């Protein structure tokens, strides 16, 4: 064969190998060591055990739907039976018993289909379809809960890291103050107690820095466990270029209506009402007659192995002579079911009322959660603005005090007093900023905005 005739096969082989290599690379793609919040959320949605369990439940519901649809198709079964019977038979018909070993074989094919059952099958198909949709919404609901949990854990890490940054700056400033105090003490400008106060403050700042670093490690571990990553996986997060709060906020009524229209809890509640209504229809169908059609055909063959007193008939002759067909219609009419059907109907009516109450409860809980998120956002923004003004004043006061200390105009006690006010202002501001961002992200999530930083 010419070499060019191999070319199409070589191209197909190379393409197949490329697809395999790409699939392996995609499947074995290493995890990043530094994660953005979007990567955390996407990874959790795909790999979380609870989410994947709900995905399997959804697949199971899909199979139930396919099985329900199959109820409209006629059933078909085949049977082959072979039996051996050893007994004393009146084979000759004259009263004389003869011991015979007889083999009997039967072959049959049967089929049946429901012609009418008050739409029970159709209602069951509709119900299974709704259950499949509800299972899909359960996946989305869990993913939403994961998104909010990951957002809070991610911001906790950013808060701790920002605390580490300003405490590190604080340690550097205190170190410089100790150095300055040492020079003043050596020059005889301050007392020994003032220098010791500065040194004690430096030790306290270093201890505070260690605590914050421990908090960072704990918060990183919390997020890592939330993502269900192996313990040996290196993990850290990306710090956004800036963390800012929005100056605008959507109206509460608009946010509540958007959440009611889009959140899976409400959709699942509405599906629950429809599913309960179909349960009522199915329960009512049990009071109605059921009409079925059935058909069968088959044949049989007998063979006497011992003491045969009759002429032997061939296999095909027997199966041909014994071939039969039947077709029938069965009407089943329920008359008395020991109140089982009546009880089932009453219970489905109760379940329907409960489903409506569950829907109302879900709507109430969601609207209250949105309203709480709205108030939390407003309160957090006001606290952030107040903390920002306080920090501006504290920074300026602390700058002035440090300058006065260098000139010897104040003692170390006054410096430490002003410094403590500065530290408190920074802590309040940093915490207020991240609380404001978190509450804003939660409120925006209710109105359908994806979480980004």
Residues 6+ apart with CB under 8 A from 286: 334, 337, 341, 344, 345
Q: b/e for 76-109, b at 16 or more Cβ within 10 A?
A: eeeeeeeeeeeeebebeeeeeeeebebeebebee
User: Model's pTM, two decimal places?
Assistant: 0.82
Contact by Cβ (8 Å): 210, 167:
no
Contact by Cβ (8 Å): 159, 218:
no
Which region holds residue 118: left if phi is over 0, alpha if psi is between -120 and 50, else beta? left
Task: Give the separation between CA 450 and CA 51, rounded to whole angstroms.
Answer: 19
Task: Give one DSSP letter per residue of 295-309, joined into a string.
Answer: EEEEEEEEEE-SS--
User: Residue 78 corresponds to which tokens in the numbers above?
Assistant: 């085949």
- Angle (nearest 5°) at CA 282 between 281 and 286: 115
pLDDT given at position 9: 41
Contact by Cβ (8 Å): 333, 291:
no
For residue 430, CA distances in Å to 239, 437, 451 come to 15, 11, 20
Domain ranges of the chain: 36-73+118-288+337-446, 76-116+302-333
What's the order of all strands across the beta sheet hosting 98-116?
75-89, 98-116, 290-304, 324-332
Task: Give the separation between CA 116 and CA 16, rounded to whole angstroms.
Answer: 52
Task: Give the separation between CA 201 and CA 444, rounded to whole angstroms.
Answer: 42
Strand, coil or helix: 73: coil
From 366, 151, 356, 357, select the one nearest 264 (Cα to Cα): 366
From 380, 414, 381, select the one nearest 397 (Cα to Cα): 414
- Phi, psi (rounded to 5 degrees) for 246: -80, 150
Contact by Cβ (8 Å): 414, 401:
yes
Helices assigned H by DSSP within 227-339: 252-262, 264-285, 315-321
User: Residue 99 corresponds to which tokens in the numbers above?
Assistant: 């011991």
Task: Give the separation between CA 258 and CA 448, rounded to whole angstroms.
Answer: 8
User: Residue 101 corresponds to which tokens in the numbers above?
Assistant: 């070993």
Residue whose tokens read 């379809």? 129
- Phi, psi (rounded to 5 degrees) for 104: -120, 135
Task: Give the separation between CA 166 and CA 430, rounded to whole angstroms.
Answer: 10
Pair type for strands 34-35 and 75-89: unpaired
pLDDT given at position 299: 96
Contact by Cβ (8 Å): 202, 175:
yes
Task: Give the separation between CA 83 and CA 64, rounded to whole angstroms.
Answer: 38
User: Residue 413 corresponds to which tokens in the numbers above?
Assistant: 């006690």
Kindly give the confidence (pLDDT) of every residue in the chain, 453 residues in length, as a single tens digit, with 9 standing for 90 and above: 444 334 344 334 444 444 343 334 334 578 888 999 999 999 999 999 999 999 999 999 999 999 999 999 999 999 999 999 998 887 666 777 888 899 999 999 999 999 999 999 999 999 999 999 999 999 999 999 999 999 999 999 999 998 898 889 888 988 988 888 888 788 887 788 878 888 888 898 899 999 999 999 999 999 999 999 998 899 999 988 877 777 788 899 999 999 999 999 999 999 999 999 999 999 999 999 999 999 999 999 998 888 777 778 888 999 999 999 999 999 999 999 889 999 999 999 999 999 999 999 999 999 999 999 999 999 999 999 999 999 999 888 888 887 776 676 666 667 777 878 888 888 899 999 999 999 999 999 999 888 888
User: Residue 138 corresponds to which tokens in the numbers above?
Assistant: 């359960």
Residue range 36-73+118-288+337-446 in CATH 2.40.170.20: no
Pair type for strands 34-35 and 236-237: parallel
Residues 6+ apart with CB under 8 A from 405: 177, 180, 412, 415
């Amino acid at each position: 064969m010419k070499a060019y005739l191999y070319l199409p096969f070589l191209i197909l082989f190379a393409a197949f190998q490329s697809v395999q290599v790409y699939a392996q690379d995609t499947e074995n793609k290493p995890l990043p060591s530094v994660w953005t919040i979007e990567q955390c959320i996407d990874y959790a949605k795909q790999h979380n055990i609870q989410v994947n369990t709900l995905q399997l439940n959804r697949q199971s519901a899909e199979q139930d739907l396919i099985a329900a649809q199959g109820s409209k198709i006629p059933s078909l079964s085949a049977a082959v039976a072979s039996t051996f019977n050893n007994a004393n038979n009146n084979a000759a018909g004259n009263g004389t018993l003869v011991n015979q070993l007889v083999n009997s074989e039967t072959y049959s094919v049967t089929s049946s289909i429901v012609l009418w059952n008050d739409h029970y099958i159709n209602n069951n198909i509709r119900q299974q379809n709704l259950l499949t949709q509800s299972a899909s919404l359960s996946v989305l609901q869990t993913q939403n809960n994961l998104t909010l949990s990951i957002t809070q854990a991610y911001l906790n890490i950013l808060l701790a890291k920002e605390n580490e940054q300003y405490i590190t700056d604080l340690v550097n400033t205190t170190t410089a103050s100790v150095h300055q105090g040492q020079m003043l003490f050596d020059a005889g400008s301050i007392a020994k107690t003032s220098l010791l106060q500065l040194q004690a403050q430096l030790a306290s700042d270093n201890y505070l820095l260690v605590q914050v670093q421990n908090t960072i490690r704990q918060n990183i571990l919390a997020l890592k466990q939330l993502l269900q990553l192996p313990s040996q996986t290196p993990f850290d997060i990306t710090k956004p270029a800036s963390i800012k709060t929005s100056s605008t906020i959507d109206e509460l009524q608009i946010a509540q209506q958007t959440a009611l229209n889009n959140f899976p809890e409400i959709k699942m509640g509405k599906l629950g009402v429809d599913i309960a209504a179909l349960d009522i229809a199915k329960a009512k169908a049990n009071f109605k007659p059921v009409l079925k059609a059935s058909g069968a055909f088959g044949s049989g063959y007998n063979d006497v192995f011992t003491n045969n007193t009759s002429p032997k008939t061939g296999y095909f002759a027997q199966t041909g002579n014994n071939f039969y067909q039947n077709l029938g219609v069965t009407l089943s009419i329920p008359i008395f079911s020991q109140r089982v059907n009546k009880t089932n109907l009453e219970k489905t009516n109760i379940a329907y009322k409960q489903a409506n109450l569950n829907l109302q409860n879900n709507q109430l809980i969601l609207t209250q959660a949105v309203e709480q998120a709205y108030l939390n956002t407003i309160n957090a923004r006001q606290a952030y603005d107040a903390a920002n003004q306080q920090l501006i004043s504290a920074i300026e006061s602390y700058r002035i005090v440090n300058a006065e200390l260098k000139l010897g105009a104040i003692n170390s006690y006054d410096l430490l007093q002003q410094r403590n006010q500065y530290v408190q202002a920074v802590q309040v501001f940093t915490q207020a900023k991240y609380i404001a961002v978190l509450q804003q992200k939660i409120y925006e999530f209710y109105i359908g905005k994806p979480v980004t930083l």
